[in-house]
Structure 1
Amino acid sequence: MRTVGVDLASQPAKTAICTIEWAGGAANVEALGLGRLNGRILDDRELLAAMRLADKAAIDAPFGWPAPFIRAVASTDWPYPPGSERAQLERRTTDIVVYQRTTKLPLSVTTDRIAYCAMRCAALLTTLSAPRDGSGLAVEVYPDAALRCWLPELFVDNRQSYKTKSNLAARARREQLLHGLLSELGAGFVMSEQQRDDVTHSDDCLDALVCALLARAAALGETVAPDSPEHRDLAAIEGWIHLPRAGSIGRLLSPARGSDTAAFRGDEDSTGSLASAPSR
């Protein structure tokens, strides 16, 4: 199986990508790049080419906008009177679910600059014919929240953010998080020393690596699906952030059920376990 993780930004220079090959109980980080990959700028064409070669891709970017916001901006008359509550226009259902499960609140796609990234993502998803709920080739992820699910012991207090730029403490934090991930993954997971240095020195590279791991988790049915008809309907419109199941980081090197290209389908059987279907 090949998974691709994309830490998407509005511009290629801040976009990072990671490709991992999985086979025989082992995995190898095949490529990792920020701004460029193998000398090529990470523009939309390059990202599409990389994702089309993957069995599953994970993108750190909103896949949609809040349904009430979509209805409001499509209306000829603004449906909310002065003084009315606007929170439902700012956050998607999946944002609230992520906050409830991890205490990490995603950025608002309607009020924050991440909207620029979301517009770029929308063009990529349309070109790939990828559903917003993650049931196709691409799945929406949030690396910061995923790390809290996989490495909860490293988020028990208010520690230095790994996102801070040009900061020795932030670099040490990224090194700590990388060490935690590699310890859970085990000796079968291989990264070069240069790739480890890249992750330590760039939060974008760390996020791209986590995205590629989450793509594997989604392909194995190790991410959490919308758990109600209402959430499934909203996920098709707003997108759905696929958080990893607790402990799943240690199961990523396990062979996929059925075949090594099984992918998350987005529903659960009567026992609560995730069903799977071919990724493409």
Structure 2
Amino acid sequence: MTRGSEHLAATNNSVSIIGIDCATQSNKVGLALGSVSNGILSIEKARKVAKNESAANVVSNWIKEQGNVKTLIALDSPLGWPVKLGEELIGHMAGASLSTDAHQMFRRRTDFFIKEKAGKQSLDVGADRIARTAHAALMLIDELTDQLGTTIPLAWSAELVDPISAIEVYPAVTLKSCQLLPATSYKKEISKERSWIFDGLSQLMNVSEMDKELVIVDDDILDAVVCVLAGYHFIRAESEGPRTKQERALAEKEGWIWARMPR
């Protein structure tokens, strides 16, 4: 038994994990529901949000259906902004110079960490369109809080001390850590890479309830499933988090990408 499975058996024998591939438009949001029982991860449902449907409604219904089982929500979206960005702009006047380097201003500590450890550059939430996705993700968490009548704090350890908690994940790094990230993009309209990824994922989790075609035709659904896998790594204590008190304090402001690192 691995260290991760020992930890899981001791703390989170039964857990629900909801993967959300976030987007600014609700009908672009990918959702996946996974369950962990006796250390085994199974995908129960995977789908897109339908037209005129609310992602929050779908997710809240899934959570309610699980009863008293702890739930971890794994979102493919930044959940915070760089501290340096706020510090630089709070007193800035139009036309004035900036004293902070662009990378330091627009990237979070976790973005540098992911680049260093995994060789992948996450999008700059301070400069890229991903900022709108981050806004939508935070609004989704707020809607879920209202619908479920409970707070949804960020999780910082595999023990999942809260009934419902959330983490930020990065599907590409999770795939890379499992040696399932293809050399060419899997985001194309018709992608044999997605079929290959699905076959690889089927060796890591139970996907018998899933329609493989859904994943082959829709990368958003695939990313949602990979978000579930990232959440599974988190509750197995396999993801790398902040390493110092200072880094943890910064992460509480900026957010942190939880991912098992490629070996």
Q: Same fold (TM over 0.5)?
A: yes
Residue 83 of structure 2 contacts residue 254 of structure 2 at CA under 8 Å; is this kept in 1?
A: yes
Partner of 2:5: none
- Is residue 2:48 matched to residue 1:34? yes
Separation in 2, partners of 1:72, 1:9:
28
1:123-202 paired onto structure 2 within 5 Å: 123-126=139-142, 127=145, 129-132=151-154, 134=156, 137-151=165-179, 154=181, 159-164=183-188, 166-167=189-190, 171-185=191-205, 189-192=206-209, 194=211, 196-202=212-218
Cα 1:26–1:44, aligned 2, differ >3 Å: closer, same or farther?
closer
1:1-280 paired onto structure 2 within 5 Å: 1-36=15-50, 41-50=53-62, 53=66, 55-75=71-91, 77=93, 81=97, 85-126=101-142, 127=145, 129-132=151-154, 134=156, 137-151=165-179, 154=181, 159-164=183-188, 166-167=189-190, 171-185=191-205, 189-192=206-209, 194=211, 196-244=212-260
Residue 132 of structure 1 contacts residue 238 of structure 1 at CA under 8 Å; is this kept in 2?
A: no
Unpaired runs of 5+ residues, structure 1, are 248-280
Cα RMSD, aligned residues only: 2.7
- Which letter maps to 1:55? T
Cα 1:220–1:197, aligned 2, differ >3 Å: closer, same or farther?
same
Aligned residue for 1:225, secondary structure, equals coil
Separation in 2, partners of 1:108, 1:84:
15
Compute the displacement of 1:73 (Å): 3.1
Residue 58 of structure 1 contacts residue 139 of structure 1 at CA under 8 Å; is this kept in 2?
A: yes
Q: What percent of counterpart residues are identical?
A: 27
Q: After TM superposition, where is structure 1 displaced by more than 6 Å over at least 4 residues in a row?
A: none
Q: What TM-score results when the alignment is normalised by the length of structure 2?
A: 0.78
Compute the displacement of 1:240 (Å): 0.3
Separation in 2, partners of 1:229, 1:219:
21
- Which letter maps to 1:109? V
Compute the displacement of 1:161 (Å): 0.4
Compute the displacement of 1:4 (Å): 0.7
